[in-house]
Chain A
Amino acid sequence: MNILWLQASGCGGCTMSLLCAEAPGAFEALEAAGLRFLWHPALSLATGAEVRAILRRIDSGEVALDVLCVEGAIARGPRGSGRFQMLSGVGVSMLDAVRRLAPLAGHVVAVGSCAAFGGMTSAGGNPSDAVGLHYEGAHPGGVLPPEFRGRAGLGVINIAGCPTHPGWVTETLMLLAAGALTAEGLDRLGRPRFYADHLVHHGCPKNEYYEYKASARAPGEIGCMMEHMGCIGTQAVGDCNIRPWNGGGSCTSAGYACINCTAPEFEEPRHPYTETPKVGGIPVGLPSDMPKAWFMALASLSKAATPDRIRKNAIADRIEVPPTLRTPKR
């Protein structure tokens, strides 16, 4: 299977993250699955006129495009012209290039939350009028209409994340190469369910603090970050704490909030990222699928039951009180 990868209006971080894949590495994983790049803007040799020739061959049908990967949102501004991002050397806006190439592709893959939904590129009044391929925020229909399907029949596959975990990208592409990704393998927002059926909360190293609502109050404290520090890992999809990042990390393991970067419109949380919005002292956002009354009841009960060890450690910058050791009975 061939892949044409375009970097639209984004930071390039999903490619950088992809290069952090290990055992196997990104190149090895794709190669073993029979995937090869027709062109990748950060990695391929071809530049300038050689790239224009590749694009012409796809356009003319001489080369059948199997997978179009787009990283970054698509700028529609100024005034719908797309001229905030011109495909250099070609005289065509990225907006027009993607609209022309997408129907030619077997599969269209949005790599990262920008390409999926607009993402950070569409933050703060969206200066460049940026949008996702198949979604504008949470609403179906971006650069491509809601009814868009790739030649192979799927809508745009949204590997949302900011950045994407390298495994999300390699495994999605390997599933495509194996013909094993179906509409049932994607959630309502087009995200692969193999990671989107999990919550960031699953496997979070702060779970014991969460159980007792033993909360961090300031950066550096190791308690649960849901109550005060803006963490929404209990609502965010992702297997970030099940298959960690860069050999063993995650946002919450490093002591900062999950900001729900796999979700549409995470760029506009309507509150400071690292501060939990509250009404009457109660956090506004509830864990996914948790009835509010039960959450309130359980939270107040567990808070009251918080062991001293957990209460003290939650507001320390490291474990100060170790677990009590049980002595076996003689």
Chain B
Amino acid sequence: MTRLVVGPFNRVEGDLEVHLEIAEGKVTLARVNAPLYRGFERMLEGRDPRDALTITPRICGICSISQSVAAARALGAAMGVAPTPEGARVAALIHAIENAADHVAHFNLFFMPDFTRPGYARRGWHARAVDRFTAIEGSAQREAVAARAALMHVLGQLAGKWPHTLAVQPGGVTRAPGPAEKMRILASLRGFRRYLEKVVFGAPVEDFVALGAESALMRWGKGDAGLFLEIAADLDLAAMGRGAGRYLAFGAYPLATGPAFPAGVWEKTGGPRALDPAGIREDLAYSWMMGAASHPSTGQTLPDEDMRGPAYSWCKAPRLEGQPMEVGAIARQVIAGHPLARDLARQGGVLARVAGRLLELARTQILMERLATDIDTSARFMAAPVAVPDAGSGAGLVEAARGALGHWLTIRKGVIANYQIVAPTTWNFSPRDAAGVPGPLEAALLGAQVWPDEPTPLSVQHIVRSFDPCMVCTVH
């Protein structure tokens, strides 16, 4: 048996270290360490509750708006305020743009460059991968960065800047777009559609959304998605890094008519069921955290400064009814009942996660266009102002690009008494729990192939990056 420490682990957002035990060329044990602690939850204590809207987006520069939206929802719940219907629609559009931009960044900048490595030089697709996805220089990287920056113009208009906006408030959004601005937004979205259809999918996004099974997906053959699928078939990424088939979503883009992608739970063995957030516990057995396992509404963040074993991560271990859950685009699309996603979930490996993200990217383009088209520019975008109560509590459950994100807020004496955050990667990259059950990534790494003389095994990199981890959110 050999041991391996993988780090610095890059092309993930934030700090990650993976400890592996390897026997006979396979990973037999994995421990995932988030080696950064900042203490955002503690920073919020004693402050005016509205300050959460300024502070929590700064947890993460890539999921910034997701944090904004979660904070606004938690604060709104405590205040008894909901956004106006048009405020909710524009907030959903702002949020969807961040998530779409993140999916594009993940695919092009974080995930695909691994296929340019010399270890794959003998593969038939390698030269094309090098041309498209060489870090910083590849043509696909350049096109993705340009398309993303152009899409962000919508955020310049509606949110002032990205990341770190204060435009999303409990009562709606701070800027009311006029009719001409709506046209500009639509023009930006059409530009992004052109990019997706010319470069990423090589065909109308509707065609990709219409795929109903993995077998049809694997015959796609167009755009950079086609190149990825060719690689995926060659390397059998479908079977690599398989998950447990337990998915969770808090529901994305709440509108007056309900969320665009629903909340729920889906298990390979039991199928879909409703989500009961009361069943969430954050376990601390292997976290450098003191205190007992608790629901986030009463949870605490008390770091163990001595970093004592057997704990090995600053990340807590959230569980739903005692079970680790996988979150992310594939989870959302499985729970939304998309037939391709349900088919991919049978294996639930690297292919499922990455293809699930592409599927969601295509669906999100259609969603963004619908949201923008439906904006009623004559309506109110902000509810009437309401004072922050002296005491109250609320939760904000949203979907970041990487999966379910929850904020739990308690107000006492007019200030924040407690604030707890459970981020998507807290679910996916959690350490073991008191029962010794590993987190989803730790489980997915079991059995990963390690070739001799691989100090940083490629399969491990594919599996880790397939989750699109955001470590800065994880450890806030």
Q: Does B23 sit within 8 A of A, measured CB to CB?
A: no
**Bound-state Cα–Cα, A318 to B117, Å:** 53
In Å, the complex CA distance between A15 and B13 comes to 10
Q: Is the CB of A317 within 8 A of B166?
A: no
CB distance from A67 to the nearest CB of B (A): 16
Q: Chain B contacts of A220 at CB under 8 A?
A: 169, 171-176, 381-382
- The residue of chain B having its C-beta at the shortest distance from the C-beta of A51 within the complex is B8
- Report whether B9 and A75 are in contact in the complex, using a CB–CB cutoff of 8 Å: no
Selected contact of A272 from candidates B48, B173, B472, CB within 8 Å: B48
Please, which residue of chain B has its CB at the minimum distance from the CB of A52?
Answer: B8
Interface residues of B in 299-330 (CB under 8 A from A): 303, 305-307
A12–B150 contact, CB under 8 A? no
**B211 in contact (CB, < 8 A):** no
Closest to B46 in A: A124
B373 CB-CB contact with A under 8 Å: no
Least Cβ distance of A294 to chain B in Å?
31
Q: Which residue of A lies closest to B377 (CB)?
A: A318
* Complex Cα gap A135–B215 (Å): 58
Look across to chain B and name the residue whose beta carbon is closest to the beta carbon of A248.
B156
Chain B: minimal CB distance from A43 (Å):
6
How many angstroms between the C-alpha atoms of A47 and B116 in the bound complex? Answer: 13
B222 contacts the other chain (CB 8 A): no
A33 within 8 A of B: no
Which of B58-66, B253-261, B393-401 interfaces with chain A?
A: B58-66
A11 with B64: CB separation less than 8 A: yes
Contacting B at CB under 8 A, from A235-291, are 240, 244-257, 259, 261, 267, 272-275
User: In the assembly, what is the distance between CA of A246 and CA of B154, in Å?
Assistant: 8
Contact B43 A27 (CB under 8 A): no
C-alpha gap A86/B145 in the complex (Å):
30
Whether a CB of chain B sits under 8 angstroms from the CB of A49 is yes
Q: Does A298 touch B at the CB level, under 8 Å?
A: no
When the two chains form their complex, are residues A273 and B455 in contact, meaning their CB atoms are under 8 A apart?
no
Q: Is B270's CB within 8 Å of the partner chain A? A: no
- B10 contact from A44, A78, A248, A256, Cβ within 8 A: A44
Distance in Å: Cβ of B326 to nearest Cβ of chain A:
23
Cβ 8 A contact of A45, one of B37, B48, B116, B150 = B116
In this assembly, does B77 line the interface, its C-beta being within 8 Å of a C-beta of chain A? no
B174 A125 Cβ-Cβ under 8 A: no
Is A88's CB under 8 angstroms from B16's CB? yes
The answer on a CB contact under 8 Å between B10 and A273 is no
Contacts of B9 in A (CB 8 A): 47-48, 88-89
B449 interfacial by beta-carbon distance below 8 Å: no
Distance in Å: Cβ of A12 to nearest Cβ of chain B: 4
Contact A47-B163, Cβ < 8 Å, known A11-B472, A16-B62, A219-B169:
no
| Residue of A whose beta carbon sits closest to that of B306 | A78
Q: Are B42's CB and A27's CB within 8 A? A: no
- Specify the chain A residue showing the minimal Cβ separation from B39: A127
Select from chain B the residue with minimum beta-carbon distance to A113.
B58
Q: Does B346 contact A (CB under 8 A)?
A: no
Query: How far apart are the CA atoms of A25 and B136 in the complex, in Å?
Result: 11
Residues from 87 to 123 in B contacting A, C-beta threshold 8 Å: 105, 109-110, 113-114, 116-117
Tell me if B15 is interfacial: C-beta within 8 Å of chain A: yes
A16, B163: Cβ atoms closer than 8 Å? yes
Asked if A138 CB lies within 8 Å of chain B CBs, one says no
Contact partners of A217 in chain B: CB under 8 A: 385
Complex: how many Å from CA A254 to CA B167? 7
Say yes or no: A219 contacts B174, CB within 8 Å: yes
What sequence of 0s and 1s flags, for each residue 151-173 of chain B, a beta carbon within 8 Å of any chain A beta carbon? 01101111111111111010111
Which of A14, A51, A218, A252 interacts with B61 by CB under 8 Å?
A: A14
Closest to B384 in A: A218
| Residues of chain B lying within 8 A (CB to CB) of residue A299 | none
Within 8 Å by CB of B174, from A37, A51, A254, A272, lies: A254
A48 pairs with B7, CB closer than 8 A: yes
Q: Does A77 contact B (CB under 8 A)?
A: yes
State which of B10, B114, B156, B167 has its C-beta within 8 Å of the C-beta of A247.
B156
Cβ of B33 under 8 Å from chain A: yes
State whether the Cβ of A199 lies closer than 8 Å to any Cβ in chain B: no
Compute how far the CA of A49 lies from the CA of B10 in the bound complex, rounded to whole angstroms: 11
Query: Using a CB–CB distance below 8 Å, which chain B residues touch chain A?
Result: 5-11, 13-17, 33, 35-39, 42-48, 50-51, 53-55, 58-62, 64, 105, 109-110, 113-114, 116-117, 134-137, 141-142, 145-146, 148-150, 152-153, 155-167, 169, 171-176, 178, 303, 305-307, 380-382, 384-385, 455-456, 461, 472
| Additional 20 contacts, C-beta under 8 A, given A14-B61, A84-B36, A261-B164 | A13-B62, A17-B61, A19-B145, A27-B145, A40-B136, A50-B456, A87-B7, A163-B161, A218-B384, A220-B172, A220-B176, A245-B156, A246-B153, A247-B150, A247-B153, A248-B157, A250-B160, A254-B157, A267-B55, A272-B51
25 contacting pairs across A/B (C-beta < 8 A): A9-B38, A13-B61, A21-B149, A26-B145, A27-B137, A44-B10, A45-B116, A47-B6, A75-B36, A84-B303, A85-B36, A86-B35, A86-B36, A89-B17, A123-B55, A124-B46, A163-B161, A220-B173, A220-B175, A246-B153, A251-B161, A251-B165, A253-B160, A254-B159, A274-B50
